[in-house]
Amino acid sequence: MISKILIANRGEIALRVLRACKELGIATVAVHSTADANAMHVRLADESVCIGPPPSRDSYLNIHQIVAACEITGADAVHPGYGFLSENAKFADILDAHGITFIGPTADHIRIMGDKITAKETAKSLGIPVVPGSAGEVLPENALEIAREIGFPVLIKATAGGGGRGMKVAKNEEELSEAVSTARSEALAAFGNDAVYMEKYLSKPRHIEVQVVGDGEGNAIHLGERDCSLQRRHQKVWEEANSPALNVEQRMKIGEICADAMRKLKYRGAGTIEFLYENGEFFFIEMNTRLQVEHPITEAITGIDLVHEQIRVASGGGLSVTQDEIVFSGHAIECRINAEDPRTFVPSPGTITHFHAPGGLGVRVDSGVYQGYKIPPYYDSLIGKLIVHGRTRVECMMRLRRVLDEFVIDGIKTTLPLFQDLINNQDIANGDYDIHWLENYLAKTAE
Ligand code: MV4
């Protein structure tokens, strides 16, 4: 049994986890840097511990300080949220050595999915369709032979990568050797590991990801997919569930493939299996072994609280539902509210002078800010998420337009005006977009 959870995070996700703990009757411990002494997650938790100065590496990423905070408060489990230590296998191992439950997958599963080559091999062996590409690492001397076999254009990716860093496209043989050497040196600089692999480059895919949860004993469910194609520089901006591109048969087919794979793997916890989707086909690219920012749209269409499920499976209590009991209902959209210029995405920290969140049926606002709150400059600029649910995509979009008009955040720049533009765009209305759409739109509409 888990009776006290330390939340090793800040901002809206710390509040999100706190809410789940309170609903389950579990005591909470917040940790915070000196810059976050006035943050909502500190106020709402039962106890709090200051774990260091503002820079993340000295506070939210400081494993020793977090373990010490567990020992001081008697917390028997840690929820890592997303980002920070959420996919750090060493952190999971250290907690385990201290007899503290990590609310997440096993350290081994985190490691397998953290290395993009072993992740892909594992996915393939579990029956998940993968992007055609090299079997493992590509060395400069073998690159041409492998690329000819795959067929141009090809994409060189860092084994230790993810999130798009260290990727290079080669359109033809002439571009190949430079693409490989640049990718290798960028990978070394970014991750301390120069290993790269090669894939067929898909030119106009959508990014579609499947939510899964496993109990670690061979039971697993899928909760449908999310379409996260609308992003800029690998930062998601707008996500929807279901994907406007899929029908119910496609949804259930890819969902069942993923759930089945997680059963075979005996996966424990929440996870997301990421695909590129092009011409009716799915291609695995990565798996994230954590709760994701955009999980609320899945909660909206299933009615299932994913943090409750994470806590249940971490404490050996099993999943609360079987696959047959899951009912998909309606459509949900999430808009990420960042403290940034809505066009340049330059961060805009500072004091929120007025704050009014919208309400009404089908509206959820997950945020960690309040009127008078001063956004510190040290962390991610995500300050909140607007999640709107409707019975159909059209109803959801109409509701989103109404809700965007109600939302007031003054004193800083936010991405809200961008959503005012997107909601009136015909491609968005039609659900007709791929992973390049938003960057093209921003370039086209820039003054
Ligand atoms: C790709 C791809 C095209 N073909 N792989 C970018 C981040 C990393 N998670 C995988 N990424 C991509 N992998 C092949 N074989 C295009 C991207 C990509 C992308 C993927 C998802 C969402 C946005 C993206 C933006 C640019 C490139």
Query: Is ligand 1 within 6 A of the CB of residue 234?
Result: yes
Locate the ligand 1 atom nearest the alpha carbon of residue 274 and give its number: 9
pLDDT band at residue 349, thresholds of 50, 70 and 90? very high
As a whole number, mean pLDDT of residues 253-266 equals 98
As a whole number, mean pLDDT of residues 147-161 equals 95
* Six token digits for residue 443: 């370039």
Whether the predicted pLDDT of 161 surpasses 90: no
Q: For the chain, give the percent of residues with pLDDT over 70.
A: 100
440: preceding bond cis by omega (within 30 degrees): no
- Ligand 1 mean position, distance from CA 376 (Å): 31
Whether the predicted pLDDT of 192 surpasses 80: yes
The pTM (predicted TM-score) of the whole model is 0.97
pLDDT at 149: 96
For tokens 């511990």, the residue is: 49
> For the segment 209-239, what is each residue's pLDDT rounded down to a tens digit?
999 999 999 999 999 999 999 999 999 999 9
User: Which residue's CA lies nearest to atom 6 of ligand 1?
Assistant: 164
Query: Is ligand 1 within 6 A of the CB of residue 131?
Result: yes
pLDDT at 166: 79
As a whole number, mean pLDDT of residues 175-190 equals 94
Q: Which of 204, 207, 229, 281 has the most ligand 1 atoms within 8 A of CB, as the residue to mutate? A: 207
> For the segment 271-305, what is each residue's pLDDT rounded down to a tens digit?
999 999 999 999 999 999 999 999 999 999 999 99
The one-letter code for the residue type at 237 is V
- Residue 283, H or E segment: strand 281-288
CA–CA separation, 183 vs 168, rounded Å? 6
- Residue 375, H or E segment: strand 374-375
- Ligand 1 mean position, distance from CA 230 (Å): 12
> For the segment 383-407, what is each residue's pLDDT rounded down to a tens digit?
999 999 999 999 999 999 999 999 9
The one-letter code for the residue type at 417 is P
CA–CA separation, 238 vs 246, rounded Å? 17
Instruction: Report, as residue numbers or ranges, the catalytic residues.
Output: 290
Residues paired with 197 in a beta bridge:
157
Which positions ≥6 away from 444 have C-beta within 8 Å?
A: none
CB distance 270 to 213 below 8 Å? yes
User: Which residue's CA lies nearest to atom 17 of ligand 1?
Assistant: 164
Locate the ligand 1 atom nearest the alpha carbon of residue 436 and give its number: 25
pLDDT band at residue 133, thresholds of 50, 70 and 90? very high
- Ligand 1 mean position, distance from CA 154 (Å): 12
pLDDT at 170: 97
pLDDT band at residue 327, thresholds of 50, 70 and 90? very high
The one-letter code for the residue type at 57 is R
Locate the ligand 1 atom nearest the alpha carbon of residue 203 and give its number: 3
How many angstroms separate the Cα of 401 from the Cα of each of 302, 395, 417?
23, 10, 11
User: Which residue's CA lies nearest to atom 14 of ligand 1?
Assistant: 201
Query: Is ligand 1 within 6 A of the CB of residue 136?
Result: no
CB distance 293 to 209 below 8 Å? no
How many angstroms separate the Cα of 364 from the Cα of each of 43, 102, 190, 241?
21, 28, 37, 15
CB distance 100 to 67 below 8 Å? yes
Percent helix, strand and coil across the chain, each to the nearest 5: 35, 25, 35
CA–CA separation, 408 vs 32, rounded Å? 27
CB atoms within 10 A of CB 163: 12
